[in-house]
Chain A
Amino acid sequence: MSDEKPYRKLETQALLQQIAFRHGMEAMAASEEGNLAWVSSGFPVEIPVAMNVFPSYPEQAGAIIGATKIGPEVCGFAEDLGYSQELWSYARASIGSTDRPDDVAMGALPKPQALLGCNNICGTILKWYDANSEQTGAPVFLLDTPPLEDEQKPHHRAYVKQGLMRLIDFLTKTFNTTLEEDRFREVSDLSSRAIKLWTQSLKACQNKPSPLNCADRFLTMAPVVSSRGMEHCTEFYEVLLMEVKDRVKQGVGAIREEKIRLLWDNIPPWFILKFFNKLASRGVVFPADTYTHAWSGAVEGTDTSSLLDGIVDIYSNVYLNKNLDAKIDKMVQLIKDFDLDGFVMFSVRSCKRYSLGQLVSKEIVTERTGVPGVVIEGDMVDSRLFNEAQIQTRVDALLEMFV
């Protein structure tokens, strides 16, 4: 019966469950051994991994809490502690699940020995990890990457590199470990290979029909977020790329009848990924999005110092750490490179760093590309902030423009 669905499920997706299970088991073991760090999504994880510190991702846990539709309940646990509903829902999900882990079926993380945050994705990380620190007793390390107005200046590089030196020192003292150059090179190489494989799969979506839709990418991005620098991560993207290339070769698309190609901007509403599948039944595919393209910088270098320079460059220049012009440029570039007919911007009120400026961006992107767009409002975890009828009217009206 699956043949009748308007979208095609990736075979590689079956591997994700194994990877997630393995990651969960390894995180539990690491926690018991006193070797677990909670890490923010934009953190240079190559360094802790090379120092044998195992990473777990509260943001990814938030996505799981969202996808399993317990977002309102778990965010509510944080609200019971006095946190505002306006607070980033990943932070609320994390604080809530840490407060009441036994009441969270999936998504509560094992106890960490350190919290590694980088503010290249937003400033909320600081206070969120402080709150997690109070809850767990684990110390916080903050890597400060000041937002970039334009090109990264030498003093900015030097400052972030100093932060990395402090990080190495922090991990050495906290986990009684060292950074060995050979291991660092090996982990960076694995990370770099995974990123390059992932980027190739993303780029393959320029083909018509697109081999991947939004939901495919949102699911298959999980290892590149959580397991960069680990062998199984690189292997996963080798398998994914093979399937993607095969689809392209056979002319098989992610959806059965591709009619309209759109760009997606922002984190997805994890609790309703079927949103994309429902649109697939109307011939709408999303060959590109700004979110999964954020993990596209590969760390290059030959020794510890040059690898650190590579990390400084990649992690300072992430999508959310740049100014609005850079974000607009990225959207325009994706619309042109992927030959897209329009765009949907998901305004997530609780994720201010991603959503701020979208109304202005929408106007400018349309001016520069000539394609229409729409802003819809909701949340990625908390379904209480998602009004399906309002969203449907806006998206339907956008699609009617293509008739």
Chain B
Amino acid sequence: MTEKAFGIGLDVGSTTTKGVIIESDGSILASHLQSTGASAASAVAHVLGNLLSISGKTRDECRIIGTGYGRNIVDMAHKTVTEITCHSVGVNALNPDIRLLIDVGGQDSKVIRIGANGRPEDFELNDKCSAGTGRFLEVMARVLEVSMDDLGPLALKSKSPCTISSTCTVFAESEVIGRIGSGDSPADIAAGVHQSMASKIGSLSKRVGVATPIGVTGGVALNPAFRYYLSDILKADLWIPDMPQLTGALGAAFIALKDMER
């Protein structure tokens, strides 16, 4: 049997599936991200195939950890670990100082207090509601007829953000349509949307207890307006890794390495 020397993390999220392969010193050999789509199993197979092909490794040489909401469908995983632990471990590997991690993904958001050992000490997740997740921004971008990439920069042009009072995606959509009808500018509406979302995440963070330094991961971390308003609400600078969507998969890969050391 081939000795395993590489760690692979596969993070199956509701919106995207991510994968990272690392070697024993922790350096990243390859990473891949793609839409999860209608078949999470196909997405997993495709991401894994990519990682192996780019890195030139075989599956037998790797220990695989599955994470994310779809972790249980990663058939080839040697173990599954929740995304809460994986994000903590991944962020800790990149920046051991981070004490509070805010991860905002496509359909969930989580706030994790990271202990000195790099593992979660406490955490909170959003409840059964997509407000405060990437989906919220997607819906609002569609209503405002801008792309997701343009939504954040548009919001940052605002000098007078609208107040979006609803914390429910469906009701907020109606509210935004009402704002459009009232003649508010797209920039002000977009800013209000980001402010509303940052407020929701800020409230979740306060439930866990704000501890600095704060890291932000997940696809929404790429949005400059979200970062701006969240930083304003938490009254703290935010640390964002280069690839904020991959920290869960990275953490899973590190856990795979750790398992092999045992």
Contacts and interface: CB of A to CB of B under 8 A. Distances in A.
Contacts of B119: 400-401, 403
B138 interface: no
A391 to B, nearest CB: 11
A377 interface: yes
Interface in A330-383: 359, 363, 366, 372, 374, 377
A400 B128 contact: no
B69 A401 contact: no
Contacts of B69: 389, 393
A393 B83 contact: yes
A390 B121 CA distance: 19
Interface string A75-108: 0000000000000000000000000000000000
A393 B82 contact: yes
Given A387-B128, A390-B128, A396 B82 contact: yes
B120 A397 contact: yes
Contacts of A372: 121-122
A366 B113 CA distance: 13
Contact of B82 (A359, A366, A377, A400): A400
A377 B120 contact: no
B95 to A, nearest CB: 21
Contacts of A390: 125, 128
Nearest to A375: B124
A400 B122 contact: no
A394 interface: yes
Interface residues of B, number: 16
Nearest to B80: A396
Contact of B84 (A359, A389, A397): A397
A363 B81 CA distance: 25
Nearest to A359: B207
Interface string B185-224: 0000000000000000000000101000000000000000
A161 B85 CA distance: 54
B127 interface: yes
B166 to A, nearest CB: 19
A394 B125 contact: yes
A366 B121 CA distance: 11
Interface in B108-157: 119-123, 125, 127-128
B81 A377 contact: no
Nearest to A374: B123
Given A393-B82, A393-B84, A401 B125 contact: no
A393 B207 contact: no
B65 to A, nearest CB: 12
Contact of A400 (B84, B127, B207, B209): B84
Given A377-B128, A400-B81, 10 more contacts: A359-B207, A372-B121, A372-B122, A387-B128, A393-B125, A396-B81, A397-B123, A400-B119, A401-B121, A403-B119
Interface of B: 69, 81-85, 119-123, 125, 127-128, 207, 209
13 contacts: A359-B207, A372-B121, A372-B122, A374-B123, A387-B128, A390-B125, A393-B69, A393-B84, A397-B84, A397-B120, A400-B82, A400-B84, A401-B119
Interface of A: 359, 363, 366, 372, 374, 377, 387, 389-390, 393-394, 396-397, 400-401, 403
